[in-house]
Amino acid sequence: MKYFFLFTSLLLLLASCSDTESSVSSDELDAIKIKTRFNRLELKQQEITDVTKANEFMTQYPSFVNLMLKRSLPSREMLGKVLIQMANDPQNKQLLEACASDYKDFSDVELAITNAFKYIKYYYPEFGVKEVNTFSGGLTSGYDIAIHDSSIFIGIDHFLVDKEKFRPNPQVFHNYILKSYSRENIALKISQLLSQSYNAYDKQDQTLLANMIFFGKAYYFVKAVNPAMTDATVMEYDKEEWGAAEQHVHIIWEHFLKRELFYTTDRKIISKYVDPRPKTGEVAEACPGRIGQWLGYKIVQSYMQNNPDISLQDLMAEKNSQKIFQKSKFRPRKN
């Protein structure tokens, strides 16, 4: 076990590209029309320096007001005061200026989000998002991605380049979490959040396996609607983390089997394998965190590969994690 990651430099050769290709043709994708508005609220926030401008802003963007009143602030008046304070406070002015600078051109992000929406609408024709709003809630707010009233809100200040100067709440956004908050991952994180609307599960099944399959289905969904992404990117692993897990899948598998982990309902144990952590030391010193999520993704991929008649919609609607586990035929063997 101590030799688990002895040759990590070699693992960078494992590029982690998916074995599956999108079933959606370019013509089919082009035919799908998305009527989503994109609003750059953080650019307008810089101008909210008095009560009149605050009221004009809140009248123009009622969904933003509704989000804030539901999540944190007690009244419209209080929200107005916060917006004015943000626009006038020197530090917050720097934050808003950084948002405007880093995302002066938002077209690439908008295109990635729009393409993901097209794929979702292909699989789920009823899908629709009224608007996507970028905004700055301040680095202590904890707002990164939210959905409310058929609208998506992106706390763009969490995705700035200079994370030393503009660092989100370190008690929530630890370094191993914050590293995934990049421009390239905005569409990914939105897809992850949207997957929850389609990811059915048995509320009575509280096993580690059920948690693993839930995450595995979510990642499979994200990959399906962002087919150009590598599997490593979908899971927010770097190449070394993904390559190490791939290279030593048999050791990870044996760890779960020997300790009879799949059917445990102990929340403390489950947390060690699926919740965000820098490493999963229970498996090996350098084993990536969330290794239970990774293994769940591998099981779901195997399930779909071995059951070609199952559609993405069928997968997401399937609540029986044991059925997916058994029919996946996922049984890694040591090379």
CB 84 within 8 A of CB 54: yes
Answer whether residue 334 is part of any domain. no
216 and 176 in one domain? Answer: no
Other CB atoms closer than 10 Å to residue 161's CB: what's the count?
13
Per the structure, how many domains does the chain have?
Answer: 2
Answer whether residue 285 is part of any domain. yes
172 and 68 in one domain? Answer: yes
Closest of 188, 199, 187 to residue 123, by C-alpha: 199
Answer whether residue 126 is part of any domain. yes
Q: Which of 178, 195, 212 is the last residue of a domain?
A: 195
216 and 143 in one domain? Answer: no
Summarised one tens digit per residue, pLDDT across range 131-165 is: 999 999 988 877 899 998 899 999 999 999 999 99
Summarised one tens digit per residue, pLDDT across range 32-91 is: 999 999 999 999 999 999 999 999 999 999 999 999 998 888 999 999 999 999 999 999
182 and 75 in one domain? Answer: yes
119 and 62 in one domain? Answer: yes
133 and 212 in one domain? Answer: no
Answer whether residue 93 is part of any domain. yes
pLDDT more than 90, % of the chain = 82
Q: What value does the CA radius of gyration of the chain take, rounded to a whole number of Å?
A: 22
Give the residue with greater pLDDT, 220 vs 174: 220
Answer whether residue 111 is part of any domain. yes
Q: Which of 135, 163, 195 is the last residue of a domain?
A: 195
165 and 41 in one domain? Answer: yes
Note down the domain range covering 137: 34-195
Q: Between the CA of residue 162 and those of 112, 156, 166, 302, what are the distances in Å?
A: 22, 13, 6, 39
Mean pLDDT of 191-197: 97
Instruction: Assign 3-class secondary structure to the chain.
Output: CCCCCCCHHHHHHCCCCCCCCCCCCHHHHHHCCCCCEEEEHHHHHCCCCCHHHHHHHHHHCHHHHHHHHHHCCCCHHHHHHHHHHHHHCHHHHHHHHHHHHHCCCCHHHHHHHHHHHHHHHHHCCCCCCCEEEEECCCCCCCCCEEEECCEEEEEHHHHCCCCCCCCCCCCCCCHHHHCCCCHHHHHHHHHHHHHCCCCCCCCCCCCHHHHHHHHHHHHHHHHHHCCCCCHHHHCCCCHHHHHHHHHCHHHHHHHHHHCCCCCCCCHHHHHHHHCCCCECCCCCCCCECCHHHHHHHHHHHHHHHHCCCCCHHHHHHCCCHHHHHHHHCCCCCCC
Q: Which of 135, 164, 195 is the last residue of a domain?
A: 195
Q: Between the CA of residue 47 and those of 26, 56, 66, 139, 166, what are the distances in Å?
A: 41, 11, 21, 19, 21
Summarised one tens digit per residue, pLDDT across range 157-192 is: 999 999 999 998 888 889 889 999 999 999 999 999
Answer whether residue 20 is part of any domain. no
pLDDT-derived band at 21 (thresholds 50, 70, 90) equals low
Answer whether residue 251 is part of any domain. yes
> In terms of DSSP bridges, do strands 151-155 and 145-148 run parallel, antiparallel, or are they unpaired?
antiparallel
